[in-house]
Amino acid sequence: MMKSVNPATGEINQKYELHTEKGIIKIINSVDKCWHQWGKTSFFQRSQAMQNLATLLKSNKEKLARLMAMEMGKVLYEGVAEIEKCAWVCDYYAANAENFLENENIETDFSKSYVSYQPIGTILAVMPWNFPFWQVFRFAAPTIMAGNTAVLKHASNVPGCALALEDLFREAGFPENVFRSLLIKNNMVETVIKHQAVKGVSLTGSNPAGKSVASVAGSVLKKCVLELGGSDPYLILEDANLVSAAKTCATGRLLNAGQSCIGAKRFIVVEKVYAEFLENFTHEMMKAQFGDPCEPETTMGPLARMDLRDELHQQISASVKKGAEIVIGGEKPDRNGAYYPPTVVENVKPGMPAYDEELFGPVASVIRVKDEKEAVLVANDTVFGLGAAVFTQNVKRGEKIAETKLQAGCCFVNDFVKSDPRLPFGGIKESGFGRELSSHGIKEFMNIKTVVVK
C-alpha cells in the first residue's frame, strides 16, 4: 500500500494499491509493444499530441497545483507556475524536436555520410517529489517527442501526481501505453531496469539513489542520465548591488521551501560587504510567510515530509555544535505539519554539515571570505557541481568567473539558477552526468547512428 500524506497536517489524503511484479512486467511489455509503433510515427503526429498536452496542462493548472499542495506542500502560486513551465517544455519540443533530430550531413571521402538519430525504446524515469510535474515533463517531453516511450517510477509520497501524469498523456491523445506510471517501492527499481525492454534510465534525486541506479544500470550496460544533489554557491563580490543581490538570493533559497537541487545554498560574501549583505539578506528571508500552502497569503509551505524536516534540523544542530551561529530561525515550530522556518546560519566552516552537505530546506549558509580568489576556492570546495551564481555590477568580470572559474554545470550572473527548456541542464562531479533539455537533452536516449554510402 502507498499513502499520500498532507505534509501541512499529517492527514492521509488517499491510499493506493501497489503494482505487483506481474503487473509491472505486463505494463512494461505493453509500453514496449507501443514503442514499436510510436517510434514510426511522424514528428507531425507526435507534435499534435504534445501541443494537446500543453493545452490540457494550461487548462488544469489550478487543479494540478492543488494536488501538489496536498501531496508535497508546494504553495499554490508556485504550483501554477510549475504547470505553466511544463506546458512550455511541451510546446518547445513540439516545435523543435524535428529540427533537433534532422540528419546531420558530414563531408568525408565517401559519396555520402551522415548522422541519423533513432529512438531506442522504452526509458525508465525515476523522479523525485520536489517538482512532481516539472521533473517528469523535463524528461518526458523530449523523450517521447524523439519517438521513445516511457515508464515512470515516481517518489512514493506523490502517487496522486504519478497517476495524474499518466491520465494527462492519455487525455491529450497519446496512445495508451506511450507513458505509464508504476506504483512501486524502491526495491522494485532494479527489476524494472533489468527488464530487457527498458533501454535507459533517467534519474533525478539524491546521490545515494543515483549511485544505486547507476550501479544496476551499469551491470546490464544501460545508459543513465543522472541529475543529483547540489550545494550551489552564490558569490557576492564587493561591487555587487547588495539590495538586488539579497532579494534575488533569498528568492533562490526559499523557492519551493528550499527543496530544490539547484536552490541557492551557500552564500559566499567578500568581507568588505559582508555585514551589509547579511543585514539585507536576513531582512529578505524574514519576509517569508510560511503556513498552509493552500492559503493565498502563504509564500512558503511545509517541507514534504516530517522525516525530511527532522533531518534538516539535525544538520543545523550539528553545525551549531561545531561553531556555526544562527542569525534567524533554526528551531522547529510548535505546530502540526512538517514546517521549518527560514533560517540563516553564519560562521560556517569546513567540517560542518552546513558547509559540506546539501541542506534541502529553507536554510542559508553564509560564509565570509577575503576576496574574489578565496570566494572561488570556497565555491569549488564541494563534491557537488550542479549550479552556481556570481553577483557583480561588472558583468564582464562576472561572466569570466562563471565561464572559466566556477565548477558547475549551470552558472548564472546576477540571477538565481533556474532551468530553461532552451538551455542544457545538468551537473558535474557528484551532481551527476548527462544533460536534459535543449537540443542536447533530446539526444541522450537516441541511437546516434553513422550512415555511410560508398
CATH code (residue 169): 3.40.605.10
pLDDT digits (tens, 9 = 90+) for 199-234: 999 999 999 999 999 999 999 999 999 999 999 999
**173 and 269 both lie in a single domain:** no
SS3 75: coil
- For residue 151, is it within any domain? yes
- For residue 418, is it within any domain? no
Task: Dig out the grid coordinates for 51 from the structure.
Answer: 501541443
User: Which ranges of 175-231 does DSSP label H, i.e. alpha helix?
Assistant: 189-194, 207-219
Reply yes or no on whether 261 is catalytic: yes
309-337 mean pLDDT? 97
- Tell me the β-bridge partners of 413: 390
**146 and 254 both lie in a single domain:** no
Name the pLDDT band for 3 (thresholds 50, 70, 90): very high
- For residue 331, is it within any domain? yes
Q: How far apart are CA 311 and CA 359, in angstroms?
A: 9
Cell numbers 520536489: residue: 130
- For residue 420, is it within any domain? no
**145 and 253 both lie in a single domain:** no
**212 and 257 both lie in a single domain:** no
- For residue 421, is it within any domain? no
Give the total residue count for the chain.
Answer: 454
Q: How far apart are CA 343 and CA 365, in angstroms?
A: 9
**280 and 314 both lie in a single domain:** yes
Q: How many domains does the chain have?
A: 2
Name the pLDDT band for 237 (thresholds 50, 70, 90): very high
The active-site residue out of 86, 161, 249, 261 is: 261
**191 and 254 both lie in a single domain:** no
**216 and 358 both lie in a single domain:** no
Q: What percent of the chain has pLDDT over 70?
A: 100
- For residue 253, is it within any domain? yes
**310 and 250 both lie in a single domain:** yes
Name the pLDDT band for 246 (thresholds 50, 70, 90): very high
Query: Helix, strand, coil proportions of the chain in percent (round to 5)?
Result: 45, 20, 35
Reply yes or no on whether 227 is catalytic: yes
Q: Which residue segment(s) compose the domain that 26 sits in?
A: 2-227+428-453
The CATH number of whichever domain residue 407 belongs to comes to 3.40.309.10
**333 and 196 both lie in a single domain:** no
Residues whose CB is less than 8 angstroms from the CB of residue 275 and which lie 6 or more positions away in sequence, other chains included? none
Long-range residue pairs from 380-383, CB within 8 A, at least 24 positions apart, any chain: 380/233, 380/405, 380/406, 380/407, 381/350, 382/231, 382/233, 382/266, 382/356, 382/429, 383/429, 383/430
**272 and 293 both lie in a single domain:** yes
Specify the pLDDT at position 85: 98
Specify the pLDDT at position 171: 98
**302 and 250 both lie in a single domain:** yes
The active-site residue out of 227, 284, 358, 444 is: 227
Name the pLDDT band for 120 (thresholds 50, 70, 90): very high
**54 and 199 both lie in a single domain:** yes
